[in-house]
Chains A and B, each alone.
Chain A
Amino acid sequence: MSTVRTERLVNLVLCLLSTRQYLTAEKIRTLVAGYPDGGGDDAFFRMFERDKAELRDLGVPLESGRNSSFDTTEGYRIARRDYELGDIDLEPDEAAAVGLAARLWDSPDLTGAAHGALMKLRAAGVEVDQNVQAPVEPRVRAADPAFAPLLAAVQNKQAVTFDYRKGTQHEVGTRVVEPWGVVSWRGRWYLVGFDRDRQAPRCFRVSRVVGAVRTVGRAGQVDSRPPDLDLMTMVSRNGDWSRPEIPALLWVAKDRSNGLRRHATARPDHPGNSADGDIIEIEIYSPESAASWIAGFGQDVRVLEPEALRKTVHERFQGVLESILGEEPLR
């Protein structure tokens, strides 16, 4: 946008704010500085259409209507009460909370929007100190490429379609979703919405969206969101964190495997203790993820019990060798 156009748009806002009458495009052309007198009508109307779109993008409430039933064409005005931010007066501690909130986002879209909000609050006379110390400084990132289009779809109430990889399976399926919201839970973003093919509410991990997000249908068409929907509960109940713990008995080499030791209890009574290593007990939740963790320490750890865990760890080592040597090594 050129400086000339920016200047014209400011003039247009000032003019439409100051009038109670609806002003037709032709009238605006003669009144507002920056519209060319000469040139064809087509060029002017195209320019005016772009200007209106720009103002609506900014959130300027442009009203259109006729001053009387005798008018043949519609005119425009901006109602001051719809345009202006209402009175707001924040106490210092409230303004400090706002400053902290504006620092929450580490995401191009949300950071920009939060700063836009802050600028308007300041313009309304609120003093916001951006450097207030908080006991804990929270940060939320949203770096996935799919995040911005999904957020926009939620805000525009517009259905979307995208390719999605489910869990660790490698098939990618195409989904059509009526988006209800985006949720950040335990450091990850999820899209919650109605999956049209499955005819049921679903949660999607935003990082597993493959490629572009495309909109389906027009904005404002998604009305399937239940009124009492609790987005956070939809996401958090998907994970089952209440799995039982199983004790595992390990031998760990002296002074090694500190990452395991700090989660373990010593078993000084066990006959396996020696000068070379110690016997420890550790609570595990999932044998698969525990095996990955334990196998990482290599020969510095050996699993004594349970047998299934010992076997899984052993298979990890074999798998690593196969991937390097390309054959079936030691049995």
Chain B
Amino acid sequence: MNRNPTRETSTERLSRLLSLVPYLLARPGILVTEAAEDLRITPAQLRKDLELLWMCGLPGYGPGDLIDLSFEEDTITVSHDAGMRRPLRLTGAEATALLVALRAIGDTPTVADPQLRSAVDRAVAKIESAVGQAQPAGVVVGLAARESARAEAARPILQEAITRHRAVGLRYYTASRDEITERVIDPLRLLIMDGRSYLEAWCRRAEDVRMFRLDRVDRAEVLDEPADPPADAARSDFSDGVWRQDDAPHTATLMLRPDARWIAEYYPVQESAELAHGCLRVTMKYWDPSWMVRLLLGQGGEAVVEGPPELVTRLRDRALAALQADQDL
């Protein structure tokens, strides 16, 4: 796997060029736009690729030797393939990425119902036989989350609502504010991320797309009214995790002693610097100061807050009040 981004793109391009002729051969007269979308490139890039292929062919490089493509309106057809009729075999890494993902899905009952499981099993068998890869992959993914009874109870109800396109009445615990609220949501999809189950939904209270952790759903009820999320309710990008911490308004600077280092593993942190004695200094964004105070109070001084000053004051006052209350008991 090449980590050098410029070279990686060129290698990817060569790989794509080798697939392009057989791809087009299987789809005579395909629209340029459709092919570009399938191959995850722009139509302009696809035209560049085709111009390059047009110059390639067999030794002799005469009219009957070169790859020939015909354009009509916005469609492409291969008229001569110069012997490139099938794609190259999958590499070990490609086969692994696909087969491991398929097996992970097939092996997780909460993801794959019996029909999907059967489709997965058949797809795995066909791909394995086409690829000719029998060796163990060396990558295993368990998707199953350690689910609470609450998440188990909520899932079938939410699934039903999604299938029937119904709105849902939700009683939900918001950890950042330590609040339990009732709201009506239009469910979009269920997800499993980082070993936890989530519901992505349009929240009519927040008038925005929200992620709900299934183990924080205290009650879910399929309503009689149809789900009606705005057509442009955007699906989130999760490459940086579920919570878009980058947009959060507050930033704390924390010095994490060894017992509190888990914070930097569990929550996204911005900057991180190793200090002596196994300590780590991090900056961490957060939405709600009361949430940060709760996190830090629980660390018993293993996470030392260095700023902002109002967070230090608030934490100190909370700790003092708690000790006072203990003494009054």
- Listed in ascending order, the chain A residues whose CB lies under 8 Å from chain B are 1, 3, 6-7, 9-11, 13-15, 17-18, 31-33, 54, 57-61, 82-91, 93-98, 100-102, 104-106, 109-125, 133-141, 148, 151-152, 154-155, 165, 168-172, 179-188, 207-208, 225, 229, 231-232, 236, 241, 256-259, 262, 291-299, 302, 314-325, 329-330
A15 to B2, CA, bound (A): 27
Residues of A within 8 A of B193 (CB): 138-139, 141, 187
Residues of B within 8 A of A84 (CB): 85-89
**Pick the contact of B132 from A86, A87, A98, A302 — CB < 8 Å?**
A86
A294 to B298, CA, bound (A): 7
In the complex, the 6 A-B pairs of residues with the closest C-beta atoms, listed nearest first: A170-B278, A187-B195, A319-B301, A1-B10, A319-B300, A187-B194
Task: Let me know if B93 and A298 touch, CB within 8 A.
Answer: no
A170 to B137, CA, bound (A): 34
B223 within 8 Å of A (CB atoms): no
Stretch at the interface among B68-76, B224-232, B313-321: B313-321
A59 to B95, CA, bound (A): 12
A299 to B143, CA, bound (A): 39
Task: Let me know if B315 and A320 touch, CB within 8 A.
Answer: yes
A-B contact sample (14 more), CB < 8 A, given A98-B102, A169-B278, A323-B304: A10-B53, A85-B89, A90-B126, A104-B105, A113-B1, A113-B96, A114-B101, A136-B110, A138-B105, A184-B142, A292-B300, A316-B298, A320-B299, A329-B323
Task: Let me know if A59 and B298 touch, CB within 8 A.
Answer: no
Task: Let me know if A262 and B87 touch, CB within 8 A.
Answer: no
Chain B residue nearest in CB terms to A115: B40
Residues of B within 8 A of A106 (CB): 238-239
Task: Let me know if B316 and A324 touch, CB within 8 A.
Answer: yes
Task: Let me know if A1 and B11 touch, CB within 8 A.
Answer: yes
B44 within 8 Å of A (CB atoms): no
Chain A residue nearest in CB terms to B316: A324
- Listed in ascending order, the chain B residues whose CB lies under 8 Å from chain A are 1-3, 7-8, 10-20, 22-23, 26, 38-40, 52-53, 55-59, 61, 82-98, 101-102, 104-106, 108, 110-111, 113, 115-116, 119-120, 122-123, 126-127, 129-132, 136-143, 145-146, 159, 162-163, 173, 175, 178-180, 189-197, 218, 238-239, 241, 258-259, 261-262, 265, 277-279, 293-302, 304-305, 312, 315-316, 318-327, 329
Task: Let me know if A98 and B146 touch, CB within 8 A.
Answer: no
Residues of A within 8 A of B86 (CB): 83-85, 123-124
Task: Say how far B42's CB is from chain A's closest CB, in angstroms.
Answer: 15
A114 to B101, CA, bound (A): 9
Count A/B pairs, Cβ under 8 Å. 404
Task: Let me know if B119 and A96 touch, CB within 8 A.
Answer: yes
**Can you name 18 A-B residue pairings with CB atoms under 8 Å?**
A10-B14, A10-B56, A57-B11, A88-B126, A91-B119, A97-B105, A98-B98, A113-B97, A151-B139, A169-B278, A183-B139, A184-B142, A295-B300, A298-B322, A299-B322, A314-B323, A318-B301, A325-B316
Chain B residue nearest in CB terms to A297: B294
A89 to B16, CA, bound (A): 21
Indicate the member of A94, A106, A180 with the most B CB atoms within 10 Å.
Answer: A94
**Pick the contact of A85 from B7, B13, B82, B131 — CB < 8 Å?**
B131
Task: Let me know if A262 and B140 touch, CB within 8 A.
Answer: no
Residues of A within 8 A of B143 (CB): 138, 140
